[in-house]
Structure 1
């Protein structure tokens, strides 16, 4: 082999090594924490997000389900500090941080129709523009919000109207407006972190709580309550965020990979949830046949709907003009996304 040829091959090999090294240096491991287990809705979304990121880039995503890094407040602090690149957290826990996010707990604001909700979260100006700015002020890049299902109340005694919640110690997330909602409903709201709820129900420290149906089954809350009530008052919302400094420091290509993964995972989770509440409720009834399930009729819901007006006024009082504008925009977005 001629020296010039040998030198050329050596140069080519060295260049290949340099390119390979550069590519390896650009491949990062991103950390993503959420408030549920891998098999629950947030976990299913996270797995799809991870799959899309790893399919379309050299980056990998490490998932941290509920409890592995602490409670909800802990993972939010870690996301804001940049220890985590991504976090999935309900506005129920970010209400103190972003007061306007409490709008998702105004009773009867959101419909129960899942197809309508699927369009609304995807197309809403309030979510995709207004809330993006509010989250950015807290060092967070809002990637997506999505619904997790109609909220059901589980209690130790039957509920057919507001009077049945009188003096019931009802667990709520640490969210000021949710506290006001259950006050208006006639209950005694009791803010507790999720890790204390099962034991609190078991020992009668609390007598009720609310969550989507799939969560009632997966967390076995039905074991320590006896009645499930659907009042149609809310749909559980969650938000996926990135640390803003991290996101802003990425290349346009990587930002696109993340946004595309968020959108693909959104479409996937909306479809995944079709019929989920019904199948999980069936599992609850198979595990505990004596559990009662009540869907309140319009007359039974009337006191809850009357209370909703009081809660809406309280929301505006808490958040001022900013909250009022968000509420009005959400209502307009809901109207625009109807069939």
Structure 2
């Protein structure tokens, strides 16, 4: 209750000053700690804005203004000028964004992945209109790292997930994905996950390696399993009314800062997954880390078609068009990096 009151008080204070606040201060909230990937991206964006203008950027890491749903509402209402949020949490708001959770769609090859995020027509041409319908200006999307599972019991086949209460983001397609694997998907806000694992309410969850390390998920689970099914994606957005009201010079300032932060975060992630898994093993030597072979991954990959079909059923022609464009973009990215 106390934490909730603090969050409400902070949000109320922001709301009270939002309309009167000078344009010199822009507010930016994200879903991670200041030292995690979104925090590093946000800090670089802030640095670029402040170095090239009279504006200042006030950053709000995870928890300072509530959960992911809270900061999205604040961005849509104009209390925040900028917000970072994974499509995993915007899936109910923008169903087509769930495409990033179709298993085995994104490549594991780092060069191909980065080429895709730099030049994807789906991201740069199709998604902006969908975000604009929700009062948001999509500035960029970027990858955060390969997603791995942490569980109480070893997972080598989909059958090993049968009946496992597995935490997923509040995302309908992730529910479908883990149901296809035989697990019991359990949507939970991030703030409840550690305690739920500790008490046995759930028995598993997934996140990129750096997040498993920084949030100490290894303390309440026994196995890390990497099956190559996804790379965590996030989106940086601005409140559209705010953005549309800026001068051309200010819009260019923001785009330049976004581009600089994008390049910075891709460089920052080089080797981060391996280092994070090494950190986990060092902190808890008995932790078992399994990186499945291509052969071991095949049964997991065979569930992808059902999830893709569920995505198209959820999103109709719009989602199908996005998916087809992404596949075309990924093919082009692969050809460009050969």
Using the size of structure 1 for normalisation, the TM-score is: 0.92
Q: Please, which of 248, 253, 257 is the counterpart of residue 257 of structure 1? A: 253
**Which secondary structure state, in structure 2, belongs to the residue aligned with residue 52 of structure 1?**
helix
* Residue of structure 2 equivalent to 1:215: 211
Q: Give the C-alpha shift of residue 299 in structure 1.
A: 2.6
Distance in 2 separating the partners of 1:298 and 1:121: 24
Aligned equivalent of 2:268, options 264, 267, 272: 272
- Number of residue pairs matched by the alignment: 315
User: Could you tell me which residue of structure 2 aligns to residue 39 of structure 1?
Assistant: 35
4+ long deviations beyond 6 Å: none
State the distance in 2 between where 1:178 and 1:113 align: 23
The C-alpha deviation readout for 1:190-223, integer Å capped at 9, x for no partner, is 0000000000000010000000000001000110
Q: Distance in 2 between matches of 1:315 and 1:172?
A: 16
Give the C-alpha shift of residue 27 in structure 1: 5.1
- For 2:81 and 2:154, locate their aligned partners in 1 and report how far apart those are by CA, in whole Å: 43
1:146-157 aligned within 5 A = 146-157=142-153
- 3-state DSSP of counterpart to 1:199: helix
Residue 13 of structure 1 is matched in structure 2 by none
Q: 2:298 aligns with which of 302, 314, 317?
A: 302
Give 1:312's aligned residue.
308
CA RMSD of aligned residues (A): 0.9
Q: Which runs of 5+ in 1 are unaligned?
A: 1-24
Question: Which residue number in structure 1 is paired with residue 235 of structure 2?
Answer: 239
Contact 1:27 1:59 in 2 (8 A): yes
| Matching residue within 101, 108, 112 for 2:108 | 112
Could you tell me how far apart the structure 2 residues matched to 1:260 and 1:170 are?
A: 40
Tell me how far apart the structure 2 counterparts of residues 173 and 195 of structure 1 sit (CA, whole Å): 11
Equivalent residue, structure 2, for 1:293: 289
Which runs of structure 2 are paired with 1:52-201 in the superposition (5 Å)? 52-201=48-197
1:69-120 CA-partner distances (Å, limit 9, x unpaired): 0000000000000000000000000000000000000000001122211111
| Cα deviation code 1:239-297 (max 9, x no counterpart) | 00000000000000000000000001000000000001111111111110000011112
Give me the whole-angstrom Cα distance separating, in 2, the residues matched to 1:26 and 1:43: 24
- Aligned mates of 2:294, 2:280 — CA distance in 1: 25
1:33 & 1:27 partners in 2: Cα distance?
17
Unaligned runs of 5+ in 2: 1-20
Q: Matches of 1:77 and 1:129 in 2, distance apart?
A: 24
Residues in 2 aligned to 1:258 and 1:83: alpha-carbon distance in whole angstroms: 18
Give the secondary-structure state (helix, strand or coil) at the position aligned to 1:141: strand
Tell me what 2:329 maps to.
333
Q: Cα offset for 1:167?
A: 0.3
The whole-number CA distance in structure 1 between the counterparts of 2:112 and 2:190 is 29
Q: Tell me the residue number matched to 1:15.
A: none
8 Å CA contact 1:27–1:58 kept in 2: the answer is no
Output the TM-score relative to the length of structure 2.
Answer: 0.92
Greater C-alpha Rg:
1
Q: Write the distance in 1 (CA, Å) between the matches of 2:284 and 2:204.
A: 17
The whole-number CA distance in structure 2 between the counterparts of 1:279 and 1:296 is 18
